[in-house]
Structure 1
Amino acid sequence: MARVLLIEDDWETAEVITAELSDRNFEVEWAADGIAGLERARALRPDAMIVDRLLPGMDGLAIIETLRNELVRTPVLVLSALGAVNDRVRGLRIGGDDYLTKPFAIVELIARVEALLRRPSETRETTLCVGTLQLDLIERRAKRGERTIDLLPREFRLLEYMMQHCDQLLTRAMLLEEVWHYKFVPATNLVDVHMGRLRHKVDGPSEPPMIHSIRGSGFILRTPS
């Protein structure tokens, strides 16, 4: 029996969806606001999710983005009254797997959920290695050799992105977009501050440096020669 998490604040809509899915032998969990929905998603690890876009407490797209950053790959059907092309594209780019506008036919919703569940599970590398530097994406742990590196969440994401793009020049604009999700480049030293802290943690006093600053351009993570 597949478990579906429904995050929907309109109780009438939730009642209809829950009843139809239950009649088709789905196990349905329902959360009525964004914050509770995110907590349920983390705790339950359902087989699929149906997430309304406009929710009290936390926006539906913010829920999806948070889960994707935490490497949760549960397929998600986004529900929304916002049906413009740009809205649908944003929902899919943020990490949604399908997008259905309101009002909808319940039979179409069921068919879309069933289609999501038929998709093969995504395989993903769970450990990144660059030289003696290791990043466990499941346990959220970092090590350099036998030394454990204590990273804050943003530092972890920054290091993850750099390790995925080892030996590539990463500009501040690229890092702001990919790690902080900025769609424009503000006048800020945010990247430099975080990079300084990360470099202090990754490159110990007696270790050859791995994080390099390229003056006027950006940063590179390299395997020590």
Structure 2
Amino acid sequence: MKILIIEDEPSLGRFLEKGLQQAGYSITLSKDGIEGQNLAASGNFDLILLDLMLPGMNGFDILSNLRAFSISTPVIICSALSSTEQVVQGLDMGAVDYIKKPFDWDELLARIRVIQKKITHQESSILTINDLSLDIIGRKVSRGGKEIKLTAKEFILLEYLARNVNRIVSKNQIMEHVWDLDFDPGSNLVEVHMYQLRKKIDKEFEYPLIETVIGLGYTLKGIKS
């Protein structure tokens, strides 16, 4: 799940970014209203955590502009503005939730999980390719009935491959999706994580699922059910 955080307070922004990454989410952090709106308008995110008091453009204007252009990405407003009128305004403008600062960390995670469940409601939260099973909500993986422990980044990487089953994904695409980084030809970040993932997913099993396509990238092959 890719989350955009639009928050200008440096310490809170870093806290949210680190904590949500550790929880297994792919995070992009913006500290400016205009930049945040441009990122949100790309439509590349599953959820937006939106502050209201921002430099460049306030959160209400961002939300209004997104909905005016039919960008329906779920938005949770996270703000110190906590009057009933402000909460009602945010919800009426199209936010799916409103959490008042300071907030409890576990409560924020629970609210994010609610949105995640709604996003996956129309599709199964379990991805199955051959004998490989991914529980997207529970963040659990098994193959042939055997549970496999993955790091947060390994899970995001495997989920990305599974959602693109039988398609070749490039190193550049993986860097952008899993790490939100521009392509660096000299980096071996993808290769290292792919090596570790393949050791866990393929090594002890009868046949490999993940394949390297020389010069193009990687693919997870199988039948999705």
SS of structure 2 residue aligned to 1:198: helix
Q: Larger radius of gyration, structure 1 or 2?
A: 1
1: CA distance between counterparts of 2:149 and 2:182?
Answer: 29
Report if the CA contact (8 A) 1:212-1:221 is conserved. Answer: yes
**Aligned with residue 96 of structure 1, among 43, 48, 60:** 48
Aligned-residue Cα RMSD (Å) equals: 3.8
Are positions 1:112 and 2:67 aligned together?
Answer: no
TM-score (norm 1): 0.59
Q: What is the match of residue 62 of structure 1? A: 17
Name the aligned partner's letter for residue 36 of structure 2.
D
Report if the CA contact (8 A) 1:79-1:100 is conserved. Answer: no
Q: Could you tell me how far 1:58 is from its partner in structure 2?
A: 3.7
Are positions 1:123 and 2:102 aligned together?
Answer: no
Correspondence 1:130-209 to 2 at 5 A: 130-209=129-208
Report if the CA contact (8 A) 2:7-2:50 is conserved. Answer: no
2: CA distance between counterparts of 1:97 and 1:54?
Answer: 13
Name the aligned partner's letter for residue 156 of structure 1.
F
Q: Could you tell me how far 1:67 is from its partner in structure 2?
A: 8.8
SS of structure 2 residue aligned to 1:116: coil
1: CA distance between counterparts of 2:88 and 2:22?
Answer: 23
- For the structure 1 residues 55 and 109, does the alpha-carbon distance in structure 2 shift closer, same or farther, using more than 3 Å as the test? farther
Residue identity over aligned pairs, in percent, reads 25
Q: What is the match of residue 110 of structure 2? A: none
Q: What is the match of residue 210 of structure 1? A: 209
Q: Could you tell me how far 1:146 is from its partner in structure 2?
A: 1.6
1: CA distance between counterparts of 2:212 and 2:17?
Answer: 32
Count of equivalent residues: 167
Name the aligned partner's letter for residue 222 of structure 2.
T
Q: Could you tell me how far 1:51 is from its partner in structure 2?
A: 7.2
Report if the CA contact (8 A) 1:53-1:60 is conserved. Answer: no
2: CA distance between counterparts of 1:108 and 1:57?
Answer: 21
